[in-house]
Structure 1
Amino acid sequence: MKKVLILDLDGVLITTPPWKSDTIHIDGYSDFNQNCVSNLNKLFEYADFEIWLSSTRRLRKTLSEFNQIFRNRKIQKEISGFLPVYENCKNRREEVLRFLLDYHINDFIILDDDKSLNSLKDEVKQKLILTELTIGFNSEKLKEALAKLK
């Protein structure tokens, strides 16, 4: 299996403050921050990833619909799949850990703004790039991600 990118959307590619409505793209879905998309595409130049979407938005669209949304926003890779919905997981941290265990994934990076991920065990947390909701995957976080790839 290729290197896995566990990707959230809100706070990573969508940086709309919670007190504002999302700006809507011409395809009817939320716009992505263009700088964050550019940084994500730069990350893809350094490693070949399978993208697994962890965002709760994965519950509202199909994989095909999300891949069209990614193409419309000029993201250079398609999504391989969604993290499964585990009934007994209470937060993103539990979902990610279960996914890594169930799919036997060792080579990965997590892009997310979910603070529950701060309590990951060190060997998993060292592969986390924790973004900020209204800033997203900026150039500083890209540098952090590239450092973790080495």
Structure 2
Amino acid sequence: MKNVIILDLDGVLILTPNWKSDGIHSDGYSEFNSDCVQNLNSLMDNLDAELWLSSTRRLSKNLGQFQEIFKNRNIKVPLAGFLPGGTLGTERKMEIDTFLDHEPIRNFLIIDDDKSLNGLESDRKQFWVQTELLIGFNTEKLNEAREIIKKWV
């Protein structure tokens, strides 16, 4: 059994408004907000948890490419994998429910701005940190995540 952080990108680490093009990193992929990256690294410090990507952006690159992207942005923990599914138009809630139903997960935390997660059952929704598109994983959300992790068994 493992501990898992389910991570979105847009509205978590990438804070670009929908009407604007992403800033591009020297590796050719979208910039991540450095404060949000620092908060994610702080959360992951000394935490025995795998990092799984739920973002629809996972459809455009393979795991190795995303691991390199994360490394280039100084994210200390490598991605363990992608949530299965991820076809365009699939509701995030359904992807997360399927993942949690089929993986040997002991504890989890979801960091995502997707409003469909309001439909999660309460026993799952309590482990969701809801971020905002233009604010992301700020200090307030980091503290909220730490409080949720304290509930892990």
Contact 2:108–2:127 (8 Å) recurs in 1: yes
* Corresponding letter in the other structure for 1:135: I
**Cα displacement string for residues 29-87 of structure 1 (whole angstroms, at most 9, x for unaligned residues):** 00000000000000011522111110001011010000000010000000001011166
State how many pairs are aligned: 149
For 2:140, give the aligned amino acid.
E
Match of 2:105, SS state, is coil
1:92 and 1:109 map into 2 onto residues whose CA distance is: 14
Q: TM-score, normalised by structure 2?
A: 0.93
Aligned-residue offset at 1:102: 1.1
Aligned to 1:148: 148
The aligned residue for residue 51 of structure 2 is 51
Q: Which stretches in structure 2 are left out of the alignment for 5+ residues?
A: none
Distance in 1 (CA, whole Å) between partners of 2:148 and 2:95 is 22
User: Secondary structure, in 3 states, of the residue corresponding to 1:147?
Assistant: helix
Distance 1:99 1:130, change over 3 A: same
**Structure 2: distance between partners of 1:108 and 1:90:** 21
CA 1:2 to 1:91, structure 2 compared with 1: closer, same or farther past 3 Å? Answer: same
AA of the residue aligned to 1:35: D
The 1-side partners of 2:26 and 2:2 are apart by 33
What percentage of aligned pairs have identical amino acids? 56
Residue correspondence of structure 1 range 83-98 to structure 2 within 5 A: 83-85=83-85, 90-98=90-98
Q: 1:119 matched to which residue of 2? A: 119
Provide the rounded CA distance (Å) in 2 between the counterparts of 1:40 and 1:86: 23
Moved over 2 A (4+): none
Structure 1: runs of 5 or more not aligned: none
Q: In structure 2, how many angstroms separate the alpha carbons of the residues matched to 1:35 and 1:86?
A: 27
Contact 1:5–1:52 (Cα < 8 Å) also in 2: yes
Contact 1:100–1:106, Cα closer than 8 Å, also in 2: no
What secondary structure does 1:107 align onto?
A: strand
Equivalent-residue separation in structure 2 for 1:61 and 1:14 (angstroms)? 16
* 2:64 partner SS: helix
